[in-house]
């Protein structure tokens, strides 16, 4: 089974400007992500950007870069353009590795591609990990997912789902601890090219607009999303300055 990894890399970020080029213990975040992807079984790894500064940095560390149009609304739109540039067949698999996941384990890149390959009814595959901290369960920046008995997504939300019926939303964290079971969605996707091509021509769904989660557009149009528990621990990505400081400490510890 062959697959291609695409890393969408925007220069701008509303919460953390210049995020993909931030320094992490001597290397940019983008290079850290690329190096992790290089350890996977992907036949090809492409950095997709619309910014010449990102292109220049990526070429310096040896990454394959392709320029895309300015103004894409999502990483999926940018990846679809790359699929067109590469003339990929409808049946081929692309894995979207986010440019802000510098500690992403290579094993889960392989896992998500394989899961899509062995689940022909799915158009998309992704992963989850158990939520163990109540702060994560209540944090809207941590996306939660619930699945059916066959591991297909029922819903993704920034809200704490599933929520125990007898708990009010004013329940204290101490009461919730140990009594809620949630799964954090890992922002890693494998797509069939045919599914991606349809996706970019579809209107945003109402739920997608409310939650600001593009995977809800797939579901609104009847696309099945396979969600399996990640085969290993998956560290959080970088969304905020606080996340960046924590990740930097992780790399410092790894190098000592």
Q: How far apart are CA 163 and CA 182, in angstroms?
A: 9
Separation CA 116–CA 233 (nearest Å): 20
Using an 8 Å Cβ cutoff, are 106 and 203 in contact? no
Cα 243 to its chain centre, rounded Å, is: 16
Q: pTM here? A: 0.90
Structural domain boundaries of the chain? 4-255
Model confidence at 256: pLDDT above 50? no
In whole angstroms, give the CA distance from residue 72 to residue 78.
Answer: 6
pLDDT digits (tens, 9 = 90+) for 171-208: 556 556 666 679 999 999 999 999 999 999 999 999 99
How high is the pLDDT of residue 138? 87
Does 191 or 240 have the greater pLDDT score? 191
Fold classification of 4-255 is Spore Coat Polysaccharide Biosynthesis Protein SpsA; Chain A (3.90.550)
């Amino acid at each position: 089974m062959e697959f291609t990894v695409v890393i969408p890399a925007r220069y701008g970020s509303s919460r953390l400007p210049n995020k993909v080029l931030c320094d992490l213990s001597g290397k940019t975040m983008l290079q850290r992500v690329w190096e992790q992807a290089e350890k996977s079984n992907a036949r090809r790894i492409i950095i997709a950007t619309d910014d010449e500064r990102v292109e220049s940095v990526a070429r310096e560390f040896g990454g394959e870069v392709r320029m895309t149009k300015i103004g894409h609304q999502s990483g999926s739109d940018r990846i679809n353009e790359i699929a067109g540039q590469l003339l990929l067949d409808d049946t081929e698999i692309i894995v979207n590795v986010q440019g802000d996941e510098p500690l992403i384990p290579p094993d889960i890149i392989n896992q998500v591609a394989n899961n899509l390959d062995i689940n022909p009814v799915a158009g998309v595959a992704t992963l989850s990990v158990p939520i163990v901290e109540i702060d994560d369960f209540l944090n809207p920046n941590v996306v939660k997912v619930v699945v059916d008995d066959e591991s297909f997504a029922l819903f993704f939300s920034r809200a704490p789902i599933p929520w125990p019926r007898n708990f009010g939303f004013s329940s204290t964290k101490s009461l919730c601890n140990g009594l809620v079971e949630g799964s954090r969605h890992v922002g890693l996707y494998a797509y069939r090219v045919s599914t991606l091509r349809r996706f970019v021509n579809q209107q945003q769904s109402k739920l997608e607009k409310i939650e600001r989660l593009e995977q809800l557009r797939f579901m609104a149009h009847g696309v099945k999303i396979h969600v399996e528990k990640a085969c290993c621990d998956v560290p959080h990505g970088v969304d905020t300055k606080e996340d960046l400081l924590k990740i930097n400490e992780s790399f410092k510890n790894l190098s000592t």
